[in-house]
């Protein structure tokens, strides 16, 4: 029987932010498609829940760690990587709606440290030949439509997501000789704990306006997870340096 090009069988995939939302959905779908999944997140209890939801807690691994803590990552990662990675999906991140006049140095530092520096430090560490498959693979960064379009109060979030878009294009060229592909996914508003905590979710009129900007309605975490699995799979073997917009039509208006 021919293996589907969309299968992740025999691949080891690392997913950050796997304790909830898009990260959890991605980790679970990767597992369903046959991958061995290493799930990273800060909340150990919720990570354990994600692991249990795979139905194979003995096959997959979790690591509770702050991605901004480089010393902890250096010490803990080798102990949970049981085989070379074939792919990575970086879902972890923070968001806010904050008028520019209120942005301070500490906000800039926090957002770049979490949304950009943590992603790049982790990626550089995982791309070491001893940790990443000699056959190549795929790295996916979760960006956002806010990295492509503007919105009041989204300067902090948008600039960090835009940085991932720019980084992925150069990384795609730099690592093409090793057959390691780099792509981004830019979701619109997805129903997750992060979006539920957003300012617009506490205002019915603002939420209605957000819904109206998505012709297909707000997204679900599984919608983005499916796009991640596609970019991780061999079906996307000729795709690198790209940005897959998964936004229910948000950027079409």
pLDDT, one tens digit per residue, over 186-223 is 999 998 876 666 655 567 887 888 899 999 999 999 99
Q: Is residue 161 part of a domain?
A: yes
CA distances from 135 to 5, 34, 173, 224, 242 (A): 16, 18, 17, 26, 21
DSSP H stretches of helix in the chain: 21-32, 44-53, 70-80, 105-112, 118-126, 155-174, 193-196, 204-212, 221-232
Residue 3 lies in a domain: no
Side-chain-facing half-sphere of 89: CA atoms under 13 Å:
32
Angle, CA of 99, 223 and 246, to the nearest 5° = 55
CB 138 within 8 A of CB 87: yes
The two structure tokens encoding residue 224: 């983005």
Nearest CA to 167 out of 89, 241, 85, 92 is that of: 241
Tell me the pLDDT of the chain averaged across its residues.
94
How many other C-beta atoms are found inside a 10 Å radius of the C-beta of residue 99?
Answer: 9
Is residue 113 situated within a structural domain? yes
CATH of the domain at 74: 3.40.50.720
- pLDDT at residue 2 in the model: 60
Task: Count other Cβ atoms within 10 Å, centred on residue 217.
Answer: 12
Structure tokens at 67: 């991605």
Give the active site residues: 157
Query: Is there a domain that residue 240 lies in?
Result: yes
pTM confidence score: 0.94
> Which residue range is the domain that position 232 belongs to?
12-252
Nearest to 231 by CA among 133, 162, 146, 142: 142
Question: Within a 13 Å sphere around the CA of 211, how many CA atoms are in the beta-carbon half?
Answer: 9
Specify whether the CB–CB gap between 26 and 224 falls below 8 A.
yes
Please give the pLDDT value at position 3: 80
Give per-10-residue mean pLDDT for the chain (253 aa): 86 97 98 98 96 97 96 92 94 94 96 97 96 97 96 95 98 98 97 67 78 94 98 98 98 91
Predicted local distance difference test score (pLDDT) of residue 234: 97
Confirm whether 1 is domain-assigned.
Answer: no
**Would 7 be classed as within a structural domain?**
no
pLDDT of residue 1: 54
| Number of structural domains the chain divides into | 1
Of 70, 172, 76, the residue nearest 113 (C-alpha): 70
28 close to 10: Cβ distance less than 8 angstroms: no
CA nearest to 191, candidates 211, 220, 217, 165: 220
Does residue 36 sit within a domain?
A: yes
pLDDT of residue 253: 84
Q: What is the DSSP string of 26-40?
A: HHHHHHHTT-EEEEE
Residue whose structure tokens are 């021919």 = 2
- Does any domain span residue 105? yes
């Amino acid at each position: 029987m021919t293996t589907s090009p969309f299968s992740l069988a025999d691949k080891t995939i690392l997913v950050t932010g796997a304790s909830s939302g898009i990260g959890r959905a991605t980790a679970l779908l990767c597992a369903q498609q046959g991958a061995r999944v290493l799930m990273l997140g800060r909340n150990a209890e919720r990570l354990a829940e994600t692991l249990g939801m795979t139905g194979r807690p003995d096959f997959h691994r979790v690591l509770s760690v702050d991605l901004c803590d480089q010393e902890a990552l250096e010490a803990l990662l080798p102990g949970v990587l049981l085989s070379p990675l074939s792919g990575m999906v970086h879902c972890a991140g923070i968001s806010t709606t904050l008028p520019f006049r209120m942005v301070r140095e500490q906000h800039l530092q926090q957002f770049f440290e979490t949304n950009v520096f943590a992603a790049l430090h982790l990626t550089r560490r995982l791309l070491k030949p001893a940790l990443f498959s000699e056959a190549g693979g795929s790295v996916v960064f979760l960006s956002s439509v806010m990295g492509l379009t503007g919105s009041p109060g989204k300067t902090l979030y948008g600039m960090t997501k835009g940085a991932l878009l720019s980084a992925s294009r150069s990384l795609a060229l730099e690592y093409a000789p090793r057959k390691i592909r780099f792509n981004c996914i830019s979701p619109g508003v997805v129903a997750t704990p992060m979006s539920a905590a957003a300012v617009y979710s506490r205002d019915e009129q603002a939420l209605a306006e957000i819904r109206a900007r998505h012709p297909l309605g707000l997204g679900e975490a599984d919608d983005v997870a499916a796009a991640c699995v596609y970019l991780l799979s061999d079906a996307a073997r000729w795709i690198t340096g790209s940005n897959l917009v998964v936004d229910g039509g948000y950027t079409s208006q």
